[in-house]
Amino acid sequence: MLHWLWRALACAALVALAQLESADSNDAGSEKDNSRIIMVMSVALDGSADTAGALGALVVAALRARGMRAASVGAPGACGASIARECRHAVLHALVNGVAHAALLPVPAARPPHVLQLRDYGLEELGDALPPARLACYASPPPAPAMHLIPRSLLDFADDTLAKLYRLSNEDIPEGVTESNRNHSSCSTATWNSKSGFSPEWCSPINGTCSILLTDNETEARVLIDVICRYKLFVHVVALGTLLQARAERLAAQSRPLLLCSRSLHRATLDSHQLAALALPPCESTEVECPFDPYRLMKLVNVRELQSPSAISVMGRLALNETELQNLVHRYRISGPEAAANETLSRHPKWTGRRGEVRTAVMIPKLTSREAYDASALMAAALMAEEDSDSSGTVNFKVELLDDQCASTLAFKYLIDALGAEFGALSGVAGPACGAAFADVARQSPTLAMPVLGYTAQAPPPATAAEFAVLMAGDARLYTEAWAAFTAHMRWRRIAVLSELATRATLDVANLGADIIVHVELPAASDLVKVDKISQWALRVAAANGRVIYVCVEDARVVRAALCAGLAAGLTPAAGAVWLLPAALPPRWLHPAPLDAHNCTLSQLRDMAAGHLSVAPAWLVEWDEREQGATDAELAWRRRWREHCLRSRRGACLRAPAHAALLYDALRMWDAALRRLLHVEPAALDNLHKKTTARSLIKDVTTVQYKGLTGEFEWSGGDASSVTPARAAPLVLMQWENGTRLRVASWRRGVLALGPAAPRWLTADGQPPDDGAERCALQPLADLLHVDCRAAFVVLGALVLALTVAALVAVAWNCKRRAERKYRERLAALGLTRLDPKPGGLDRWEIPRERVVINRKLGTGAFGTVYGGHALLAEDRGWSAVAVKTLKAGASTEEKLDFLSEAEAMKRFDHKNVVRLLGVVTKTEPVCTVMEFMLYGDLKNYLLARRHLAAGEASEAGEALAEVSAARLTSMALDAARALSYLAQLRYVHRDVAARNCLVSAHRVVKLADFGMTRLVFENDYYRFSRKGMLPVRWMAPESLALGVFSPASDVWSFGVLLYEIVTFGSLPFQGLSNAEVLARVKAGHTLELPPGLKPQLEGLIKSCWQQEHKARPCAAEVAAFLADSPRLLTPCLDVPLDALPLDHDGDPWRLSRDRAEARWVSWAAPASAATDTTYLSTDAPPHDTDAFLP
């Protein structure tokens, strides 16, 4: 049955909450009611601008009096004729588009806009502002001689005889309308003159056959013109506007013939002057609207745009009768709109304010088998709060009592039923008192925008509903923290717990800070207590040697059952068991009830409860302790409470429980907050369930200082929308002794303070009982850390692991320091002080990888591969041919440093005979440098390829012979000398000057390249090499081979070897000797044998470069000057042997795989003597006697 009830409630909730959901989606807009301006548009029935202005001013004044901002907006231009269909359409269009939010609009009484059609556009009709009115015509009795010609209908004036009787003289006719200046118009082209009116063409001023018809305005005049033309009436129409009433009374008083048509003529004028109503002509059956039908002045609002129940309430109550309208218009013309509106509002106070009723639902568990709270006591306190409310204010505070029976279904059902009944007047819900029902109701508070007041200790609702709940009795979760502090002080680390579903939210076992050895949660509330399940729980606790037993429940029946089960299991205070029980229990909570399933007596239960501990807020303890020493005001309140309590039950109401006093305080605070809000914002009474209103009420309650029966209220939380405000009060730990509770400690904000009394333990030795834990080898450590043995072992393991990790970290840190020291030494050896990006560093030369395109391979070097390609160096320069030198994958740190050191050196060079660095790519792999492209490659291959031209093997053209001329060879040597001079000026030593490291450009300009071994020299003008590696021994000076010292002078020695390579067209120095033999020969003071046929000047230059004493050698600048003075100094000398590249007969390149063959051909592209150009000087290789020069 309960299952079907839940399903029915869920279906009802979906239907009811669907409407709330749409309103809730617009809550952000509705929260701006007080800031937005409500635009009001008014159109009068009679078309009068004064009437429309007066009505609009009245509506604006009424809205402002209600606390809203409002202003009038002019009617559309189509409303020159107020009853015209075009006017209605224009006003409705303005309402739908939000130009106006409210309007007074004339509509046909028989055919008003359909209500469903209005709702489709978000419009709502609020009734009529005035009684319906119609265009009526009246005539005075004719003169006595013609009484037989009394007109009965307006159509009777088709008789010119009758029409003559209602002629007016020039004195009677309004100024501007005389027989001589009347505007006679044809009906086919009828025109209206605001001064002279309208006179049909058959009304001749000579025979004077037409009567004069007086009317209010042009709108009505045009209606009458259609009738005159249709039925050929002898009538002249004149519109007098506001003068019609006065002119009609004057003419009637003078017994002058009077014919008039109006919608707003005073009834008193008609009765006093015996003006008879004329029958109006019938309307055609084809006409949709008849102008002579009654019209209503309908009140319309755009509820979607307006979103203000207060405005709708004011508009709905606003209504005038004919006399009030005439007085309003009269005052409007005399005193202005504001004075006229205020005077009318003063006669109708109900329009802008009424004595409303605000309800607060109080949910109380009355008809329930649970023994949790005293329902009669709570009901008495709630009714007293209603009685003590200020009845002289503008609002009545009412309390609606509801029996929820501690059931979520009944509490939720009331909220669903309230949606269709008194929901608008319901300002909040106090309760429920039971935890499960309170949690379910609080979760629905955001949907309903319904504040929920907790008058018993509860846990805060989820974050989505936190801002709509107020925990007047405090946060029940703090009880767990207080217990955790006390058990930690007592070194109790094992706790057994018995709880129920109602306390699940308040019991946070994680915050207990102890091991939960047994935890049983009882199912949802029912009529019967699960005694068998509680007995099994007690047996499990006893089997686990549990001593500290926490019973976290609300029902006193469960407490009695738990104590009885503990007695049966031997968990008695004398045996060392400590019971932690709830403090908020009914006064007779220990007395067995007739329906209790256990068999324990009151005496046994008292013995089991002796010495138990409980936690309660200080205000609750002080209320119970203050009963004897209460103030006169409190004593008077208690007497009144007792009187109210006796009305609801037959038994004696001995003591007012603390929760009853708290409920009274909560309702009084809520009543005061409501009155303060409505005083500042009267419109809130019409929309209590706006989220801003609910938030304002809760903020008022938690910020305004209040001191009630339970003391002064202090609050915690509420600073953020996700934190529920709760009453902040110290928690008192009490011990039960002989039916009274003694304070043994207090807890506030995480601090436990013992006293004033000390706990009295009922053990045999009177000592505090332990928690039943086993003793272990690490017990001293466990006691020190206030943990059990298992946790002590974990802590010890963690310490050992931490020490091990710390030792490993220390070793790793030491290794890192050593590696960094070696790294810095390497940087110093390379002349690199730092590699991090900085202004002026490599970062300035960085170019994106996508701007470099590689399209061919040029060769392979020690660090990687050299490619040819193009690069976009600048947007305005286009793509340039470049050479891209890449670092091979998996390069070591030293190789990376050597590679970057070359780029670091090249960025400083800017000379026409030095290969320029164009950019670097270092932020992505592989790292590469971008340099200018040299078309003819290295100088050695260039000379070898043209050796046959120098030998004169074939007849060549003059251009080909110029390639090997003395001028060309001397120019190439001069380019290299100038490059060395430039480096010497910058205090750089190249250390690898050779033909293979000189590149030839497209214009046959030689440029020095390969700066991988280039180093910066300092004050000693030399660089000492301290690392073993590949060195070009055949080009090195003696001091470099012997001492590892490099200087500009050693580069001059290498330049002399370069001159030998140039004149011999690429011949290998020391041909036929091994590297070891070359080392021994140079260290012995011997030099390279010069080829025959050299010019004496060149021979002397080369020998000066090969002086054993480095100081005797010329500098690079002197060599460049000497070569510049002798432009044809170098001539080919080919009488020297050539080195050869042996072929591998076991694996010809053309027979290998494509990858291996490509690699072999790349190696063939290198100089023929590449294998003998350098030697590897390292201790890893077999030692030679020639390695002794290494330091």
What pLDDT was estimated at residue 1170?
41
Comparing CA positions, the residue from 1010, 932, 944, 1007 lying closest to residue 976 is: 1007
- What confidence score (pLDDT) does residue 54 get? 92
Cα-Cα end-to-end distance for the chain: 101
Q: Is the pLDDT of residue 474 over 50?
A: yes
Higher-scoring residue by pLDDT: 452, 783: 452
Q: Per-residue pLDDT averaged across 419-425, rounded?
A: 66
**Residue 405, pLDDT above cutoff 80:** yes
423-444 tens-digit pLDDT: 667 889 998 999 989 999 999 8
Residue 61 above 70 pLDDT?
yes
What mean pLDDT comes out for the span 1040-1064?
A: 93
pLDDT mean over 633-644: 90
| pLDDT at residue 280, as a whole number | 85
DSSP class of residue 141 equals P
Higher pLDDT, 659 or 528: 659
Q: What is the pLDDT of residue 1029?
A: 58
Q: Residue 287 — pLDDT band, cuts 50, 70, 90?
A: low
The pLDDT-based confidence of 811 (bands split at 50, 70, 90) is very high
| Greatest mean pLDDT among 719-728, 851-860, 910-919 | 910-919
pLDDT tier at 843 (50, 70, 90 boundaries)? Answer: low
Mean local confidence (pLDDT), 271-276:
74
Q: Which of 23-27, 307-311, 345-349, 1084-1088 is most confident?
A: 1084-1088
Question: Which overall architecture, per CATH, does domain 360-474+630-728 show?
Answer: 3-Layer(aba) Sandwich (3.40)
pLDDT for 672 equals: 93
Give the pLDDT of residue 837: 41
Identified catalytic residue from 665, 671, 771, 992: 992
- CATH 3.90.650.10, applies to 843-933: no
- What's residue 165's pLDDT? 86
The lowest-confidence range among 251-255, 265-269, 917-921 is 265-269
Report, at the CATH architecture level, how domain 476-626+732-739+749-754 is classified: 3-Layer(aba) Sandwich (3.40)
Higher pLDDT among residues 776 and 401, named by residue: 401
> What residue ranges in 677-750 does DSSP mark as E strands?
707-708, 711-712, 715-716, 726-727, 731-737, 740-748
Task: Out of 12-16, 1084-1088, 1136-1140, give the one with best mean pLDDT.
Answer: 1084-1088
**pLDDT, average across residues 735-757:** 92
Q: Is the pLDDT of residue 1158 over 60?
A: no
Work out the burial of residue 198: count CB atoms within 10 Å of its CB; fewer than 13 is exposed, 13-18 middle, 19 or more buried.
buried
> If you average pLDDT over residues 643-647, what whole number do you get?
87
| Percent above pLDDT 70 for the chain | 83
Using DSSP bridges, classify how beta strands 1023-1024 and 751-754 pair: parallel, antiparallel or unpaired: unpaired
Strand, helix or coil at 1029?
strand
**Residue 211: enclosing H or E segment and its boundaries?**
strand 211-215
Least confident of 235-239, 333-337, 773-777: 773-777
Per DSSP, the residues of 80-132 read GSTTSHHHHHHHHHHHHTTS-SEEEEEEESSSPPPHHHHHHTTEEEEEESS--
**Nearest Cα to 984, choosing from 922, 1040, 1052?**
1052
Residue 185: what pLDDT? Answer: 62
Q: Is the pLDDT of residue 51 over 70?
A: yes
Task: Please give the pLDDT value at position 976.
Answer: 95
Q: Does 1166 score more than 50 pLDDT?
A: no
DSSP 8-state class, residue 198: B
Q: What is the mean pLDDT of residues 628-643?
A: 86
Closest alpha carbon to 870 in 849, 848, 887, 851: 851
Q: In this predicted model, which residue has the larger pLDDT, 892 or 805?
A: 805
* Residue 686 reports pLDDT greater than 60: yes
Q: What is the pLDDT of residues 697-710, one digit of tens each?
A: 999 999 999 999 99
Question: 907 or 1177: whose pLDDT is higher?
Answer: 907
Which pLDDT does position 1163 carry in this prediction?
32
The candidate with the shortest Cα–Cα distance to 401, out of 417, 374, 382, is 382
pLDDT of residue 957: 56
Q: What's the average model confidence in pLDDT over 116-134?
A: 89
List CB contacts of 822: < 8 A, sequence separation 6 or more: none
Structure tokens given for 613: 């501990």
**Per-residue pLDDT at 390 exceeds 90:** no
Average pLDDT estimate for 636-650:
85
User: Most confidently modeled of 45-54, 822-831, 1104-1113?
Assistant: 1104-1113
Closest CA to 1119 of 964, 962, 982, 941: 982
992 is catalytic: yes
Taking residues 171-199, report their average pLDDT: 61
Residue with the larger pLDDT of the pair 999 and 1143: 999
- pLDDT at position 835 over 50: no
- Closest residue by Cα to residue 514 from 551, 548, 538, 553: 548
Q: Which residues pair with 522 in a beta bridge?
A: 500
CATH fold of 938-950+962-1125, please?
Transferase(Phosphotransferase); domain 1 (1.10.510)
The pLDDT confidence band at residue 751, using thresholds 50, 70 and 90, is very high
- Region 804-833: mean pLDDT is 76
Confidence (pLDDT) at 83: 73
Name the least confident of 95-109, 236-250, 814-828, 920-934. 814-828
On the 0-12 / 13-18 / 19+ scale of CB atoms within 10 A, 606 is middle
Alpha-carbon distance of 751 to 758, in angstroms, equals: 17
Neighbours of 856 (CB within 10 A): 7
**pLDDT tens column, 1046-1056:** 999 999 999 99
At residue 46, what are phi and psi to the nearest 5 degrees?
Answer: -85, 5
pLDDT averaged over every residue in the chain: 82
The architecture in CATH of the region 38-132+294-351 reads 3-Layer(aba) Sandwich (3.40)
**Is 822 labeled as ligand-binding?**
no
Q: Among residues of the chain, what percentage have pLDDT more than 90?
A: 40
Q: What is the mean pLDDT of residues 1095-1120?
A: 94
pLDDT at 955 > cutoff 60 = no
Overall average pLDDT of the 786-792 stretch: 73
Which pLDDT does position 1150 carry in this prediction? 36
Distance CA 667, CA 430 (A): 8
Q: What mean pLDDT do residues 309-332 have?
A: 87
Local confidence band at 422 (pLDDT 50, 70, 90 cut-offs)? low
Cβ contacts of 285-289, under 8 Å, gap ≥ 24: 288/111, 289/85, 289/108, 289/111
The pLDDT, as a whole number, for residue 1135 is 82
Render pLDDT for 23-44 as a digit per residue (tens, 0 to 9): 444 444 444 445 679 999 999 8
Q: Are 453 and 476 in contact (CB under 8 A)?
A: no
Phi, psi dihedral angles at 644 (to 5 degrees)? -65, -35
User: pLDDT band for position 1174 (50/70/90)?
Assistant: very low
> Averaged over 723-731, what is the pLDDT?
93
Least confident of 375-384, 542-551, 934-943, 1005-1014: 1005-1014
Instruction: Please determine, for residue 566, whether its predicted confidence score (pLDDT) is greater than 90.
Output: yes
Please report the pLDDT score of residue 1099 as a whole number.
93
pLDDT of residue 516: 92
Radius of gyration over alpha carbons of the chain, in Å?
56
More confident residue, 774 or 1022: 774
- Residue 716 near residue 749 (C-beta atoms within 8 A): no
Q: Whole-angstrom Cα distance, residue 1027 to residue 1030?
A: 10
Q: Which residue has the higher pLDDT, 608 or 182?
A: 608
